Structure 1
Amino acid sequence: MSFLPLSLVVITHNEGLNIARCLDSVPFAADKLVVDSGSTDDTVAIAQAHGARVVHQDWLGFGPQRNFASTQAAHDWILVLDADEFLSPELAADLERGLPALMASSRPAAWLRRRTWLMGAPMRWYRPMVGERMARLYHRDRARWTDARVHESLRFDGAAAEFSAPFNHADNPSLVHKQLKVLRYSELKALDWCDKRRPVRMWLTPLVYLSSFLKDYVLRLAFLDGWRGFIIAQTAASYAAYKRMRYYEMRHNPASIGAAHAKLAKHGLEH
């Protein structure tokens, strides 16, 4: 196996069940970096056993954590994966062939396609989970993550390259995991809105719920994925409504922020 001057970067917190598969799916990366925010399971030991350097960084929020991780990479070109993501063999082969030319160019980044597995099988019709286009490969001097606590994005100028073969996302091993993630992401998003003093507009919440469900279930073709499609559309609509209700509570009862943080921390969800 020949290595390419590429850093695979993964941010983790209690990802012992996923991290080995993620790291092993990129065998050609000369540097594998895991930035861990205080795992209490065996994430760190497994990552090290699978060839990764591990750096500890207390949780900063998704965007700032990714930007910190970029500074710790050994190479300028960086591939970012979440611990529950992994390259398909087809994409790994495409990257091995295409990376040398990309690295020699002045392009800032490359678009990849993500395919999501839900309830043990790939989604086949729901558009955000079938070939979702994401910027995950970039030169760290030409791109930067936004500073959002959650739903961060990679920003860059200029035309990016694109690879068509997918990487895989094993989305939440159960609906329990999904609902816990909804709680965590809602809290982070509401805190971002607090920082920006966004208007509350609670009256919009029922309309947001309805429009979100119809957008995902009908326009994004979730209905073609059967009951799994219904479940994902309902979950997305519930998230859209809940984060607005939580923001309303934060503005009307600021003491709830500390109480919620303590409760989430008790269950390992403060990260």
Structure 2
Amino acid sequence: MVELPFSLIVITHNEAANIAACLDSVPFAAEKLVVDSGSDDDTVAIAQAHGARVVHQDWLGFGPQRNAAAAHSRHDWILFLDADESLTPQLSAELRERLPELLNSQAAVAILRRRTSYMGAPMRWYRPMRGERLARLYHRGRARWTDARVHESLRWDGESVDFKAPFDHAHNPTLAHKHLKVLRYAELKCLDWNDKNRPVRMWQTPLVYLSAFLRDYVMRLAILDGWRGLIVSHVAAAYAVYKRIRYYEMRRNPASIEQARTVLRRHGLDR
């Protein structure tokens, strides 16, 4: 297969179960780069066995970690995938067909569509998991990730192009995995809020749950996915509330920041 001059980059920490499928789904990338933040499983060995160059980078937060990873790329055009994501055969074919023109253009980014499996099967109606539009392929001289610790996004100057075929996201295998991620992501988000001295506004908490639940369950059509739609809407709304009550605790008891960091580190959730 002809390689194309772009880099596939994956940032990892203990992704031995996922990294091979992710890397193997992009056989036409001229470079596969894994930026690892200290895995103690077989992530690094598996990545190297599947053709990746591995670079160590201590954890900086999602946005800074992505920007640091991009600096290690041997090519200006970069495709970022998470370790639990992979290209579908349809998107692979579309990329091979359209990438030569894109790589020689003045465009800044390409928008890809992500479809997500939840509780072992694809979501059919819930919009964020059916065809979420994400900027994941970009020219590093024309785009840059925000510096947010979590929920980072790509910012760019210039034109964007859209690809039609989706890529796959193997969402958290169980709700236990999801809730552990909630603890980690909420902590990072609250630290960002704390840095910005954001007001607490605990009085909004009941309204936050209701509005977040109704947004996902009704407006984003989760209701049409049956019980799984109810569950995904509740989990999203509960996360929105937990961030706020954890932030309240953080502001009221600053010592809880280090205490939480210690317990999260003990369970491998501090990065």
TM-score by length of 2: 0.99
Q: CA deviation at 1:120?
A: 1.1
Checking the alignment, whether the CA contact within 8 Å between 2:142 and 2:158 is kept in structure 1 is no
Aligned position for 1:45: 45
Distance 1:30 1:216 in 2: 39
Distance 1:59 1:227 in 2: 37
Q: Deviations over 1:89-130 (max 9, x none)?
A: 000000001000001110001000000011111000000111
Aligned position for 1:92: 92
SS in 1 for 2:264: helix
- One-letter code aligned to 2:161: A
Aligned position for 1:236: 236
Q: Does residue 9 of the first structure (1) align with residue 9 of the second (2)?
A: yes
SS in 1 for 2:26: coil
Aligned position for 1:61: 61
Q: CA deviation at 1:17?
A: 0.2
Distance 1:132 1:261 in 2: 32
Q: Deviations over 1:247-270 (max 9, x none)?
A: 000000000000000000000000
Aligned position for 1:161: 161
Any stretches of 5+ residues in structure 1 without a counterpart?
none
Any stretches of 5+ residues in structure 2 without a counterpart?
none
Checking the alignment, whether the CA contact within 8 Å between 2:113 and 2:163 is kept in structure 1 is yes
Aligned position for 2:176: 176
Q: CA deviation at 1:53?
A: 0.4
Checking the alignment, whether the CA contact within 8 Å between 2:106 and 2:159 is kept in structure 1 is no
SS in 2 for 1:184: helix
SS in 1 for 2:137: strand
Q: CA deviation at 1:51?
A: 0.3
SS in 2 for 1:116: strand
Any runs of at least 4 consecutive aligned residues in structure 1 with deviations exceeding 2 A, and if so which?
Answer: none
Checking the alignment, whether the CA contact within 8 Å between 2:33 and 2:53 is kept in structure 1 is yes
TM-score by length of 1: 0.99
Aligned position for 1:130: 130
Aligned position for 1:75: 75
Q: Deviations over 1:220-271 (max 9, x none)?
A: 0001001111110000000000000000000000000000000000000001
Distance 1:117 1:33 in 2: 25
SS in 2 for 1:167: strand
- One-letter code aligned to 2:180: L
Distance 1:31 1:93 in 2: 18
Distance 1:22 1:104 in 2: 26
- One-letter code aligned to 2:217: Y
SS in 2 for 1:166: strand
SS in 1 for 2:141: coil
Q: CA deviation at 1:158?
A: 2.1
- One-letter code aligned to 1:201: R
Q: CA deviation at 1:204?
A: 0.3
- One-letter code aligned to 1:182: V
SS in 2 for 1:59: coil
Aligned position for 2:108: 108
SS in 1 for 2:185: helix
Distance 1:227 1:184 in 2: 26
Q: Deviations over 1:1-31 (max 9, x none)?
A: 1100010000000000000000000000010
